[in-house]
Structure 1
Protein backbone atom coordinates (compact mmCIF):
# COMPACT_ATOMS: atom_id res chain seq x y z
CA UNK A 1 0.00 0.00 0.00
CA UNK A 2 1.08 3.57 -0.71
CA UNK A 3 0.96 6.32 1.93
CA UNK A 4 1.21 9.98 0.99
CA UNK A 5 2.66 12.26 3.66
CA UNK A 6 2.67 16.07 3.90
CA UNK A 7 5.24 18.29 5.65
CA UNK A 8 4.65 21.05 8.17
CA UNK A 9 6.07 24.45 9.00
CA UNK A 10 9.82 24.75 8.47
CA UNK A 11 9.95 23.09 5.04
CA UNK A 12 9.59 26.40 3.14
CA UNK A 13 12.25 27.81 0.80
CA UNK A 14 12.53 30.73 -1.62
CA UNK A 15 11.35 29.69 -5.09
CA UNK A 16 8.96 27.02 -3.81
CA UNK A 17 6.19 26.22 -6.27
CA UNK A 18 7.52 28.36 -9.15
CA UNK A 19 8.16 25.35 -11.37
CA UNK A 20 4.59 24.15 -10.82
CA UNK A 21 3.20 27.63 -11.51
CA UNK A 22 5.18 28.04 -14.74
CA UNK A 23 4.48 24.58 -16.13
CA UNK A 24 0.73 24.18 -15.62
CA UNK A 25 -2.30 26.38 -16.15
CA UNK A 26 -4.18 24.27 -13.60
CA UNK A 27 -1.45 24.80 -10.99
CA UNK A 28 -1.43 28.54 -11.76
CA UNK A 29 -5.16 28.69 -11.11
CA UNK A 30 -4.64 27.29 -7.58
CA UNK A 31 -2.02 29.96 -6.84
CA UNK A 32 -4.30 32.70 -8.23
CA UNK A 33 -7.18 31.43 -6.07
CA UNK A 34 -4.88 31.43 -3.03
CA UNK A 35 -3.87 35.05 -3.68
CA UNK A 36 -7.55 36.05 -3.76
CA UNK A 37 -8.43 34.15 -0.55
CA UNK A 38 -5.47 35.44 1.44
CA UNK A 39 -5.71 39.00 0.20
CA UNK A 40 -2.06 39.32 -0.75
CA UNK A 41 0.25 37.91 -3.44
CA UNK A 42 1.51 34.82 -1.65
CA UNK A 43 2.79 33.39 -4.95
CA UNK A 44 5.19 36.32 -5.27
CA UNK A 45 6.46 35.83 -1.70
CA UNK A 46 6.91 32.09 -2.31
CA UNK A 47 8.83 32.64 -5.55
CA UNK A 48 10.87 35.75 -4.66
CA UNK A 49 10.59 36.39 -0.92
CA UNK A 50 13.53 36.31 1.47
CA UNK A 51 13.94 33.60 4.10
CA UNK A 52 12.77 36.17 6.69
CA UNK A 53 9.60 36.98 4.73
CA UNK A 54 8.84 33.28 4.29
CA UNK A 55 9.22 32.78 8.06
CA UNK A 56 6.29 35.08 8.83
CA UNK A 57 3.53 32.89 10.27
CA UNK A 58 0.82 34.32 8.01
CA UNK A 59 3.02 33.31 5.04
CA UNK A 60 4.73 30.10 6.14
CA UNK A 61 1.71 27.92 6.87
CA UNK A 62 -0.31 28.82 3.74
CA UNK A 63 2.84 28.59 1.58
CA UNK A 64 3.73 25.05 2.69
CA UNK A 65 0.07 24.02 2.39
CA UNK A 66 -0.31 25.43 -1.15
CA UNK A 67 2.93 23.85 -2.37
CA UNK A 68 2.05 20.46 -0.86
CA UNK A 69 -1.52 20.29 -2.15
CA UNK A 70 -0.77 21.54 -5.66
CA UNK A 71 2.16 19.09 -5.91
CA UNK A 72 -0.19 16.21 -5.10
CA UNK A 73 -3.11 17.33 -7.26
CA UNK A 74 -0.94 17.86 -10.35
CA UNK A 75 -0.14 14.12 -10.52
CA UNK A 76 -2.70 12.14 -12.51
CA UNK A 77 -1.66 8.89 -10.81
CA UNK A 78 -2.32 10.35 -7.34
CA UNK A 79 -4.40 7.61 -5.72
CA UNK A 80 -3.54 7.35 -2.01
CA UNK A 81 -4.36 4.30 0.10
CA UNK A 82 -3.73 6.37 3.23
CA UNK A 83 -2.54 9.89 4.07
CA UNK A 84 -0.96 11.73 6.98
CA UNK A 85 0.52 15.16 7.60
CA UNK A 86 2.94 16.54 10.18
CA UNK A 87 1.14 19.27 12.18
CA UNK A 88 0.11 21.84 9.51
CA UNK A 89 0.54 19.02 6.96
CA UNK A 90 -2.61 17.37 8.28
CA UNK A 91 -4.66 20.02 6.45
CA UNK A 92 -2.85 19.18 3.19
CA UNK A 93 -3.57 15.49 3.82
CA UNK A 94 -7.28 16.26 4.26
CA UNK A 95 -7.44 17.95 0.86
CA UNK A 96 -5.54 15.03 -0.67
CA UNK A 97 -8.11 12.51 0.59
CA UNK A 98 -11.00 14.84 -0.36
CA UNK A 99 -12.24 15.54 3.18
CA UNK A 100 -11.73 19.26 2.58
CA UNK A 101 -11.85 21.40 -0.55
CA UNK A 102 -8.76 23.45 -1.41
CA UNK A 103 -10.38 26.82 -0.72
CA UNK A 104 -11.97 25.84 2.60
CA UNK A 105 -8.75 24.23 3.80
CA UNK A 106 -6.66 27.28 2.85
CA UNK A 107 -9.02 29.54 4.80
CA UNK A 108 -8.63 27.27 7.85
CA UNK A 109 -4.84 27.19 7.46
CA UNK A 110 -4.73 30.98 7.32
CA UNK A 111 -6.97 31.31 10.38
CA UNK A 112 -4.85 28.72 12.21
CA UNK A 113 -1.65 30.61 11.44
CA UNK A 114 -3.04 33.94 12.67
CA UNK A 115 -4.60 32.35 15.78
CA UNK A 116 -1.30 30.66 16.65
CA UNK A 117 0.55 33.95 16.16
CA UNK A 118 -1.84 35.67 18.57
CA UNK A 119 -1.42 32.89 21.15
CA UNK A 120 2.37 33.22 20.86
CA UNK A 121 2.15 36.96 21.55
CA UNK A 122 -0.07 36.36 24.60
CA UNK A 123 2.30 33.78 26.12
CA UNK A 124 6.00 34.18 25.24
CA UNK A 125 7.22 30.63 24.83
CA UNK A 126 9.36 28.37 22.66
CA UNK A 127 10.38 24.83 21.68
CA UNK A 128 13.55 22.70 21.78
CA UNK A 129 14.69 19.55 19.98
CA UNK A 130 15.99 16.76 22.22
CA UNK A 131 18.25 14.25 20.47
CA UNK A 132 19.55 10.95 21.75
CA UNK A 133 17.15 10.12 24.61
CA UNK A 134 14.34 7.56 24.76
CA UNK A 135 10.85 9.08 24.52
CA UNK A 136 10.00 7.82 28.00
CA UNK A 137 13.04 9.58 29.50
CA UNK A 138 12.02 12.87 27.92
CA UNK A 139 8.42 12.43 29.10
CA UNK A 140 9.53 11.75 32.68
CA UNK A 141 11.86 14.75 32.74
CA UNK A 142 9.10 17.02 31.36
CA UNK A 143 6.75 15.91 34.13
CA UNK A 144 9.13 17.43 36.67
CA UNK A 145 9.28 20.85 34.96
CA UNK A 146 6.30 23.18 35.18
CA UNK A 147 4.99 24.35 31.82
CA UNK A 148 7.00 21.95 29.64
CA UNK A 149 5.48 19.11 27.58
CA UNK A 150 6.46 16.74 24.72
CA UNK A 151 5.30 18.35 21.46
CA UNK A 152 6.59 16.39 18.42
CA UNK A 153 7.44 12.68 18.44
CA UNK A 154 9.42 12.94 15.19
CA UNK A 155 11.33 9.64 15.19
CA UNK A 156 13.07 7.42 17.75
CA UNK A 157 15.71 9.54 19.50
CA UNK A 158 14.23 12.86 18.31
CA UNK A 159 11.54 14.49 20.39
CA UNK A 160 10.65 18.21 20.39
CA UNK A 161 9.42 19.79 23.62
CA UNK A 162 7.30 22.95 24.11
CA UNK A 163 6.89 25.34 26.99
CA UNK A 164 7.60 28.67 28.63
CA UNK A 165 10.96 30.25 27.85
CA UNK A 166 12.16 29.64 31.41
CA UNK A 167 10.85 26.08 31.45
CA UNK A 168 12.57 25.18 28.17
CA UNK A 169 15.87 26.61 29.44
CA UNK A 170 15.67 24.43 32.57
CA UNK A 171 14.55 21.42 30.50
CA UNK A 172 17.50 21.69 28.10
CA UNK A 173 19.95 21.59 31.03
CA UNK A 174 18.21 18.59 32.58
CA UNK A 175 18.09 16.75 29.23
CA UNK A 176 21.85 17.25 28.76
CA UNK A 177 22.50 16.04 32.31
CA UNK A 178 20.45 12.92 31.50
CA UNK A 179 22.68 12.16 28.49
CA UNK A 180 20.98 13.86 25.56
CA UNK A 181 23.31 14.26 22.56
CA UNK A 182 21.77 17.66 21.94
CA UNK A 183 19.13 19.86 23.56
CA UNK A 184 18.67 22.60 21.02
CA UNK A 185 16.29 25.58 21.40
CA UNK A 186 14.46 26.13 18.10
CA UNK A 187 13.95 29.46 16.29
CA UNK A 188 10.14 29.39 16.58
CA UNK A 189 7.64 31.96 17.78
CA UNK A 190 5.99 29.92 20.51
CA UNK A 191 5.16 26.65 22.23
CA UNK A 192 3.23 24.89 19.48
CA UNK A 193 1.36 21.68 20.37
CA UNK A 194 1.16 22.56 24.05
CA UNK A 195 -1.54 23.87 26.44
CA UNK A 196 -0.18 27.38 25.77
CA UNK A 197 -1.95 27.17 22.38
CA UNK A 198 -5.38 26.96 24.05
CA UNK A 199 -6.53 30.42 22.83
CA UNK A 200 -5.70 29.36 19.25
CA UNK A 201 -7.48 26.03 19.71
CA UNK A 202 -10.69 27.79 20.77
CA UNK A 203 -10.52 30.15 17.79
CA UNK A 204 -9.80 27.36 15.31
CA UNK A 205 -12.52 25.12 16.77
CA UNK A 206 -15.23 27.62 15.78
CA UNK A 207 -13.84 27.87 12.23
CA UNK A 208 -13.58 24.08 11.81
CA UNK A 209 -17.10 23.48 13.10
CA UNK A 210 -18.51 25.88 10.51
CA UNK A 211 -16.57 24.35 7.58
CA UNK A 212 -17.92 21.68 5.21
CA UNK A 213 -16.16 18.32 5.62
CA UNK A 214 -16.84 15.36 3.28
CA UNK A 215 -16.37 11.61 3.65
CA UNK A 216 -12.74 10.88 2.67
CA UNK A 217 -11.65 8.50 -0.11
CA UNK A 218 -9.07 6.93 2.23
CA UNK A 219 -8.19 7.16 5.92
CA UNK A 220 -6.11 9.96 7.41
CA UNK A 221 -3.74 8.98 10.22
CA UNK A 222 -4.11 11.91 12.58
CA UNK A 223 -1.46 13.54 14.77
CA UNK A 224 -3.68 13.48 17.85
CA UNK A 225 -3.90 9.69 18.29
CA UNK A 226 -1.85 8.22 15.38
CA UNK A 227 -4.87 6.19 14.27
CA UNK A 228 -6.70 6.00 10.91
CA UNK A 229 -9.90 8.03 10.66
CA UNK A 230 -12.64 8.28 8.05
CA UNK A 231 -15.46 9.56 10.26
CA UNK A 232 -15.98 13.31 9.78
CA UNK A 233 -16.92 13.98 13.41
CA UNK A 234 -13.76 12.24 14.66
CA UNK A 235 -11.57 13.99 12.07
CA UNK A 236 -12.87 17.43 13.13
CA UNK A 237 -12.40 16.71 16.85
CA UNK A 238 -8.85 15.44 16.33
CA UNK A 239 -7.94 18.40 14.10
CA UNK A 240 -9.06 20.79 16.85
CA UNK A 241 -7.26 18.84 19.61
CA UNK A 242 -4.06 18.79 17.53
CA UNK A 243 -3.14 22.37 18.44
CA UNK A 244 -2.67 21.68 22.16
CA UNK A 245 -1.60 18.02 21.93
CA UNK A 246 1.67 16.43 20.71
CA UNK A 247 2.26 15.41 17.09
CA UNK A 248 2.57 11.61 17.26
CA UNK A 249 4.49 11.20 14.00
CA UNK A 250 6.56 8.20 15.07
CA UNK A 251 3.43 6.37 16.17
CA UNK A 252 1.51 7.38 13.00
CA UNK A 253 4.17 5.93 10.69
CA UNK A 254 4.39 2.77 12.81
CA UNK A 255 0.61 2.36 12.57
CA UNK A 256 0.60 2.92 8.80
CA UNK A 257 3.30 0.26 8.41
CA UNK A 258 1.29 -2.11 10.63
CA UNK A 259 -1.74 -1.46 8.40
CA UNK A 260 0.16 -2.36 5.21
CA UNK A 261 2.05 0.75 4.03
CA UNK A 262 5.28 -0.19 2.24
CA UNK A 263 5.84 2.99 0.24
CA UNK A 264 5.77 6.55 1.59
CA UNK A 265 5.60 9.48 -0.84
CA UNK A 266 6.25 12.99 0.49
CA UNK A 267 4.27 15.76 -1.21
CA UNK A 268 5.57 19.27 -0.71
CA UNK A 269 8.75 21.21 -0.09
CA UNK A 270 11.82 19.46 1.29
CA UNK A 271 12.61 15.88 2.28
CA UNK A 272 12.26 16.03 6.06
CA UNK A 273 9.50 13.44 6.30
CA UNK A 274 11.32 10.99 4.02
CA UNK A 275 14.23 11.08 6.46
CA UNK A 276 11.99 10.63 9.50
CA UNK A 277 10.10 7.71 7.92
CA UNK A 278 13.40 5.94 7.19
CA UNK A 279 14.48 6.39 10.82
CA UNK A 280 11.16 5.01 12.04
CA UNK A 281 11.01 2.05 9.62
CA UNK A 282 14.23 1.27 7.73
CA UNK A 283 12.54 -1.10 5.26
CA UNK A 284 10.11 1.54 3.99
CA UNK A 285 10.44 2.79 0.43
CA UNK A 286 10.50 6.61 0.45
CA UNK A 287 10.29 9.15 -2.36
CA UNK A 288 9.05 12.66 -3.07
CA UNK A 289 6.74 14.12 -5.69
Structure 2
Protein backbone atom coordinates (compact mmCIF):
# COMPACT_ATOMS: atom_id res chain seq x y z
CA UNK A 1 0.00 0.00 0.00
CA UNK A 2 1.37 3.40 -1.00
CA UNK A 3 2.43 5.72 1.79
CA UNK A 4 2.50 8.71 -0.57
CA UNK A 5 0.99 11.92 0.71
CA UNK A 6 -0.15 14.28 -2.04
CA UNK A 7 -0.19 18.08 -1.83
CA UNK A 8 -2.17 20.05 -4.40
CA UNK A 9 -0.90 23.56 -5.13
CA UNK A 10 -3.29 26.26 -6.36
CA UNK A 11 -1.54 29.21 -8.04
CA UNK A 12 -2.12 32.93 -7.85
CA UNK A 13 -1.98 35.53 -10.59
CA UNK A 14 0.91 35.97 -12.98
CA UNK A 15 1.03 32.96 -15.33
CA UNK A 16 -2.42 33.19 -16.92
CA UNK A 17 -2.49 32.93 -20.73
CA UNK A 18 -5.10 32.53 -23.51
CA UNK A 19 -4.57 28.74 -23.74
CA UNK A 20 -4.90 28.18 -20.00
CA UNK A 21 -8.02 25.99 -20.33
CA UNK A 22 -6.92 23.82 -23.27
CA UNK A 23 -5.53 20.83 -21.34
CA UNK A 24 -8.47 20.69 -18.92
CA UNK A 25 -10.90 20.80 -21.84
CA UNK A 26 -9.60 17.44 -23.06
CA UNK A 27 -11.59 16.04 -20.12
CA UNK A 28 -15.34 15.82 -20.85
CA UNK A 29 -16.21 16.53 -17.20
CA UNK A 30 -13.96 19.59 -17.03
CA UNK A 31 -15.26 20.80 -20.39
CA UNK A 32 -18.84 20.67 -19.09
CA UNK A 33 -17.75 22.65 -16.03
CA UNK A 34 -15.98 25.29 -18.11
CA UNK A 35 -18.97 25.66 -20.42
CA UNK A 36 -21.00 26.64 -17.37
CA UNK A 37 -18.51 29.22 -16.10
CA UNK A 38 -17.60 32.70 -17.40
CA UNK A 39 -14.13 31.99 -18.80
CA UNK A 40 -13.58 34.42 -21.67
CA UNK A 41 -9.92 35.35 -22.12
CA UNK A 42 -10.69 38.42 -24.22
CA UNK A 43 -9.62 41.72 -22.73
CA UNK A 44 -6.77 42.33 -20.31
CA UNK A 45 -6.29 38.98 -18.55
CA UNK A 46 -3.87 40.65 -16.13
CA UNK A 47 -6.49 43.12 -14.90
CA UNK A 48 -7.47 42.18 -11.36
CA UNK A 49 -11.21 41.85 -12.04
CA UNK A 50 -10.58 39.48 -14.97
CA UNK A 51 -7.53 37.62 -13.68
CA UNK A 52 -8.84 36.43 -10.32
CA UNK A 53 -11.94 34.57 -11.60
CA UNK A 54 -9.94 33.15 -14.54
CA UNK A 55 -7.26 31.72 -12.25
CA UNK A 56 -9.89 30.10 -10.04
CA UNK A 57 -11.72 28.66 -13.06
CA UNK A 58 -8.53 27.22 -14.56
CA UNK A 59 -7.47 25.64 -11.27
CA UNK A 60 -10.83 24.07 -10.49
CA UNK A 61 -11.28 22.85 -14.06
CA UNK A 62 -7.92 21.09 -13.90
CA UNK A 63 -8.87 19.45 -10.63
CA UNK A 64 -12.13 18.29 -12.23
CA UNK A 65 -10.07 16.85 -15.11
CA UNK A 66 -7.77 14.76 -12.90
CA UNK A 67 -9.73 14.04 -9.74
CA UNK A 68 -10.95 10.62 -10.90
CA UNK A 69 -7.41 9.25 -11.25
CA UNK A 70 -5.47 11.36 -8.73
CA UNK A 71 -4.71 9.89 -5.29
CA UNK A 72 -6.73 11.38 -2.44
CA UNK A 73 -4.89 14.59 -1.48
CA UNK A 74 -3.59 14.93 2.07
CA UNK A 75 -3.36 18.72 1.90
CA UNK A 76 -4.17 21.69 -0.34
CA UNK A 77 -2.34 25.02 -0.38
CA UNK A 78 -3.19 28.12 -2.37
CA UNK A 79 -1.09 31.17 -3.15
CA UNK A 80 -3.04 34.46 -2.84
CA UNK A 81 -6.27 34.03 -4.89
CA UNK A 82 -5.23 30.37 -5.09
CA UNK A 83 -6.27 29.98 -1.46
CA UNK A 84 -9.86 30.55 -2.53
CA UNK A 85 -9.40 27.94 -5.27
CA UNK A 86 -8.07 25.57 -2.59
CA UNK A 87 -11.43 25.56 -0.83
CA UNK A 88 -13.07 24.62 -4.11
CA UNK A 89 -10.63 21.72 -4.47
CA UNK A 90 -11.34 20.77 -0.84
CA UNK A 91 -15.06 20.53 -1.60
CA UNK A 92 -16.15 23.40 0.63
CA UNK A 93 -17.48 25.65 -2.15
CA UNK A 94 -18.80 24.99 -5.65
CA UNK A 95 -16.94 26.22 -8.71
CA UNK A 96 -19.77 28.68 -9.43
CA UNK A 97 -19.58 30.15 -5.93
CA UNK A 98 -15.78 30.24 -6.04
CA UNK A 99 -15.84 32.33 -9.22
CA UNK A 100 -18.49 34.66 -7.81
CA UNK A 101 -16.39 35.13 -4.67
CA UNK A 102 -13.26 35.71 -6.76
CA UNK A 103 -15.07 38.47 -8.65
CA UNK A 104 -16.21 40.05 -5.38
CA UNK A 105 -12.70 39.78 -3.96
CA UNK A 106 -11.21 41.51 -7.00
CA UNK A 107 -13.81 44.28 -6.92
CA UNK A 108 -13.23 44.94 -3.21
CA UNK A 109 -9.47 45.08 -3.73
CA UNK A 110 -9.89 47.45 -6.67
CA UNK A 111 -12.04 49.71 -4.50
CA UNK A 112 -9.14 50.10 -2.08
CA UNK A 113 -7.36 52.08 -4.77
CA UNK A 114 -9.89 54.87 -4.28
CA UNK A 115 -8.47 55.41 -0.80
CA UNK A 116 -4.86 54.80 -1.84
CA UNK A 117 -4.62 55.39 -5.59
CA UNK A 118 -1.64 54.26 -7.63
CA UNK A 119 -0.47 50.95 -6.13
CA UNK A 120 1.90 48.27 -7.36
CA UNK A 121 3.85 45.16 -6.39
CA UNK A 122 7.53 44.47 -6.85
CA UNK A 123 9.87 41.61 -6.05
CA UNK A 124 12.90 41.90 -3.77
CA UNK A 125 15.60 39.27 -4.23
CA UNK A 126 18.88 39.00 -2.35
CA UNK A 127 18.02 40.63 0.96
CA UNK A 128 17.12 38.89 4.25
CA UNK A 129 13.42 39.32 4.95
CA UNK A 130 14.00 41.61 7.94
CA UNK A 131 16.25 43.91 5.88
CA UNK A 132 13.81 43.89 2.97
CA UNK A 133 10.96 44.82 5.30
CA UNK A 134 12.89 47.73 6.81
CA UNK A 135 13.97 49.05 3.43
CA UNK A 136 10.45 48.72 1.99
CA UNK A 137 8.90 50.52 4.96
CA UNK A 138 11.04 53.60 4.32
CA UNK A 139 9.15 54.00 1.02
CA UNK A 140 5.71 53.16 2.49
CA UNK A 141 5.87 49.59 1.17
CA UNK A 142 4.92 46.45 3.08
CA UNK A 143 5.94 42.83 2.56
CA UNK A 144 2.96 41.09 0.96
CA UNK A 145 4.36 37.60 0.38
CA UNK A 146 7.43 35.89 1.83
CA UNK A 147 8.62 33.43 -0.80
CA UNK A 148 12.11 32.54 0.47
CA UNK A 149 14.80 33.30 3.02
CA UNK A 150 15.90 36.26 0.90
CA UNK A 151 13.01 36.70 -1.57
CA UNK A 152 9.68 38.43 -1.16
CA UNK A 153 7.03 40.57 -2.83
CA UNK A 154 6.30 44.05 -1.51
CA UNK A 155 3.35 46.32 -2.18
CA UNK A 156 2.99 50.08 -1.97
CA UNK A 157 2.64 53.34 -3.91
CA UNK A 158 3.64 53.11 -7.55
CA UNK A 159 5.09 56.60 -7.35
CA UNK A 160 7.77 55.32 -4.97
CA UNK A 161 8.60 52.18 -6.92
CA UNK A 162 11.57 53.55 -8.89
CA UNK A 163 13.17 55.06 -5.80
CA UNK A 164 12.75 51.85 -3.81
CA UNK A 165 14.17 49.76 -6.62
CA UNK A 166 17.24 52.00 -6.86
CA UNK A 167 17.80 51.58 -3.12
CA UNK A 168 17.41 47.81 -3.43
CA UNK A 169 19.93 47.69 -6.26
CA UNK A 170 22.36 49.95 -4.36
CA UNK A 171 22.28 47.35 -1.58
CA UNK A 172 23.41 44.67 -4.06
CA UNK A 173 19.98 43.07 -4.39
CA UNK A 174 17.53 42.83 -7.29
CA UNK A 175 13.96 43.93 -7.92
CA UNK A 176 11.32 43.55 -10.60
CA UNK A 177 8.02 45.36 -10.92
CA UNK A 178 5.02 43.07 -11.40
CA UNK A 179 2.02 43.69 -13.72
CA UNK A 180 -0.33 44.14 -10.74
CA UNK A 181 -2.04 47.38 -9.77
CA UNK A 182 -3.14 46.52 -6.24
CA UNK A 183 -0.89 46.18 -3.19
CA UNK A 184 -2.20 42.74 -2.27
CA UNK A 185 -1.66 41.33 1.23
CA UNK A 186 -0.66 44.68 2.72
CA UNK A 187 -2.50 47.19 4.95
CA UNK A 188 -3.52 49.07 1.78
CA UNK A 189 -6.22 46.39 1.38
CA UNK A 190 -7.60 46.69 4.92
CA UNK A 191 -10.96 48.18 3.90
CA UNK A 192 -11.67 45.05 1.81
CA UNK A 193 -11.29 42.60 4.69
CA UNK A 194 -14.64 42.95 6.46
CA UNK A 195 -16.78 43.11 3.29
CA UNK A 196 -15.09 39.99 1.94
CA UNK A 197 -15.65 38.20 5.25
CA UNK A 198 -19.34 39.06 4.90
CA UNK A 199 -19.40 37.73 1.32
CA UNK A 200 -17.78 34.48 2.47
CA UNK A 201 -20.24 34.19 5.35
CA UNK A 202 -23.16 34.57 2.96
CA UNK A 203 -21.84 31.85 0.63
CA UNK A 204 -22.85 28.20 0.88
CA UNK A 205 -19.70 27.00 2.63
CA UNK A 206 -19.81 23.25 3.11
CA UNK A 207 -17.63 20.62 4.74
CA UNK A 208 -13.89 20.93 4.10
CA UNK A 209 -12.91 17.46 2.88
CA UNK A 210 -9.16 18.16 2.69
CA UNK A 211 -7.25 20.45 5.11
CA UNK A 212 -6.22 23.75 3.51
CA UNK A 213 -3.06 25.58 4.57
CA UNK A 214 -3.80 29.18 5.58
CA UNK A 215 -1.31 31.51 3.94
CA UNK A 216 -1.16 33.94 6.85
CA UNK A 217 -0.33 31.29 9.44
CA UNK A 218 0.84 28.15 7.56
CA UNK A 219 -1.58 26.11 9.66
CA UNK A 220 -4.15 23.64 8.30
CA UNK A 221 -7.77 24.84 8.26
CA UNK A 222 -10.67 22.42 8.45
CA UNK A 223 -13.56 24.53 9.79
CA UNK A 224 -15.82 27.04 8.07
CA UNK A 225 -15.23 29.82 10.62
CA UNK A 226 -11.46 29.50 10.39
CA UNK A 227 -11.63 29.48 6.59
CA UNK A 228 -13.69 32.69 6.50
CA UNK A 229 -11.36 34.34 9.01
CA UNK A 230 -8.10 33.48 7.26
CA UNK A 231 -9.39 34.00 3.70
CA UNK A 232 -10.55 37.50 4.52
CA UNK A 233 -7.59 38.56 6.67
CA UNK A 234 -5.08 37.45 4.03
CA UNK A 235 -6.17 40.35 1.83
CA UNK A 236 -4.35 42.78 4.13
CA UNK A 237 -1.80 40.56 5.88
CA UNK A 238 1.48 39.03 4.79
CA UNK A 239 1.32 35.58 3.21
CA UNK A 240 4.04 33.38 4.68
CA UNK A 241 4.48 31.11 1.68
CA UNK A 242 7.95 30.04 2.81
CA UNK A 243 6.40 28.79 6.05
CA UNK A 244 3.63 27.06 4.08
CA UNK A 245 6.19 25.08 2.08
CA UNK A 246 7.96 24.08 5.28
CA UNK A 247 4.64 23.12 6.92
CA UNK A 248 3.86 20.85 3.98
CA UNK A 249 7.20 19.12 4.36
CA UNK A 250 6.65 18.75 8.11
CA UNK A 251 3.24 17.19 7.39
CA UNK A 252 5.00 14.38 5.56
CA UNK A 253 4.08 15.41 2.02
CA UNK A 254 5.94 13.23 -0.49
CA UNK A 255 4.35 14.30 -3.80
CA UNK A 256 3.09 17.71 -4.93
CA UNK A 257 1.22 18.77 -8.05
CA UNK A 258 0.51 22.35 -9.04
CA UNK A 259 -2.84 22.63 -10.79
CA UNK A 260 -1.80 25.53 -13.00
CA UNK A 261 -1.73 27.69 -14.93
CA UNK A 262 2.04 28.10 -14.66
CA UNK A 263 4.61 26.31 -12.56
CA UNK A 264 5.97 28.97 -10.17
CA UNK A 265 4.76 27.21 -7.02
CA UNK A 266 6.13 23.85 -8.13
CA UNK A 267 9.54 25.39 -8.80
CA UNK A 268 9.62 27.12 -5.41
CA UNK A 269 8.71 23.94 -3.56
CA UNK A 270 11.17 21.85 -5.57
CA UNK A 271 13.98 24.28 -4.72
CA UNK A 272 13.01 24.46 -1.05
CA UNK A 273 12.31 20.75 -0.47
CA UNK A 274 13.89 18.70 -3.26
CA UNK A 275 12.94 15.42 -1.55
CA UNK A 276 9.27 16.12 -2.41
CA UNK A 277 8.51 14.92 -5.93
CA UNK A 278 6.99 18.04 -7.45
CA UNK A 279 5.55 18.89 -10.86
CA UNK A 280 3.00 21.23 -12.40
CA UNK A 281 0.27 20.26 -14.84
CA UNK A 282 1.91 22.88 -17.08
CA UNK A 283 4.79 20.40 -17.55
CA UNK A 284 2.52 17.93 -19.37
CA UNK A 285 0.94 17.79 -22.82
CA UNK A 286 -1.79 15.30 -21.90
CA UNK A 287 -3.89 14.27 -18.92
CA UNK A 288 -2.58 10.74 -19.37
CA UNK A 289 0.92 12.09 -18.83
CA UNK A 290 -0.18 13.55 -15.51
CA UNK A 291 -1.83 10.24 -14.55
CA UNK A 292 1.28 8.21 -15.31
CA UNK A 293 3.54 10.58 -13.40
CA UNK A 294 1.28 10.51 -10.35
CA UNK A 295 1.23 6.71 -10.44
CA UNK A 296 5.03 6.53 -10.56
CA UNK A 297 5.57 9.25 -7.98
CA UNK A 298 3.15 7.70 -5.52
CA UNK A 299 4.66 4.23 -5.89
CA UNK A 300 8.22 5.32 -5.13
Matched, 1:129 2:123: yes
**Alignment partner, residue 142 of structure 2:** 149
Q: 1:20 aligns with which of 24, 45, 50?
A: 24
Unaligned runs of 5+ in 1: 36-41
Tell me the TM-score normalized by structure 2.
Answer: 0.85
Tell me the TM-score normalized by structure 1.
Answer: 0.89
Deviations 1:198-231 (A, max 9, x none): 2222331220121122231221111111111112
Alignment of 1:1-289 (within 5 A): 1-21=5-25, 23-35=26-38, 42=39, 45-46=40-41, 49=42, 53-75=44-66, 76-78=68-70, 79-123=72-116, 124-143=118-137, 145=138, 147-180=140-173, 182-289=174-281
Structure 1 consecutive aligned stretches of length 4 or more whose deviation exceeds 6 Å: none
User: Would you say the 8 A contact 1:69–1:268 is kept in 2?
Assistant: no
Name the CA distance, whole Å, in 1 between partners of 2:29 and 2:270: 33
Q: Which moved more, 1:57-66 or 1:162-171?
A: 162-171
Name the CA distance, whole Å, in 1 between partners of 2:35 and 2:115: 33
Q: Which moved more, 1:87-96 or 1:275-284?
A: 275-284
Q: Which moved more, 1:207-216 or 1:88-97?
A: 207-216
Size of the alignment, in residue pairs? 274
Q: Which moved more, 1:197-206 or 1:76-85?
A: 197-206
RMSD of aligned C-alpha atoms?
A: 1.8
User: Would you say the 8 A contact 2:47–2:180 is kept in 1?
Assistant: no
**The residue matched to 1:243 in structure 2 has which SS?**
coil
**The residue matched to 2:124 in structure 1 has which SS?**
strand
**The residue matched to 2:196 in structure 1 has which SS?**
helix
Deviation at 1:146, TM superposition (A): 5.3
User: Would you say the 8 A contact 1:34–1:103 is kept in 2?
Assistant: yes
